[in-house]
Amino acid sequence: MPDSSTRFPRRVPASVTVIVPVRNGAHTIGAQLDALQEQSYAGRFDILVSDNGSSDDLAGLLARRQGQGRVPVGYVLADELPGASHARNVGARHATENSSPTATRAMLCENTGCTTWLWPQGMQTS
Domain of residue 96, CATH code: 3.90.550.10
Amino acid making up residue 33:
L
User: What stretches of 41-99 adopt beta strand conformation (E)?
Assistant: 44-51, 73-77
pLDDT of 120 reads 52
66 within a domain of the structure (yes/no): yes
State how many domains the chain has: 1
3-class DSSP assignment, residue 77: strand
pLDDT of 97 reads 79
Q: pLDDT 10s digit of each residue in the chain, 126 long?
A: 555 555 656 666 678 888 999 999 999 999 889 888 888 777 788 899 999 999 999 999 999 999 888 889 999 999 999 999 999 999 999 987 776 544 467 777 777 665 554 455 555 444
pLDDT of 60 reads 95
9 within a domain of the structure (yes/no): no
50 within a domain of the structure (yes/no): yes
pTM for this entry = 0.78
Residue 85: domain span: 15-116
49 within a domain of the structure (yes/no): yes
pLDDT of 83 reads 94
10 within a domain of the structure (yes/no): no
User: Are 58 and 87 a contacting pair, CB within 8 Å?
Assistant: no
Cα distances from 78 to residues 10, 20, 54, 86, 99, in angstroms, run 34, 12, 10, 7, 19
In the beta sheet, which residues pair with residue 20? Answer: 49
pLDDT of 5 reads 54
48 within a domain of the structure (yes/no): yes
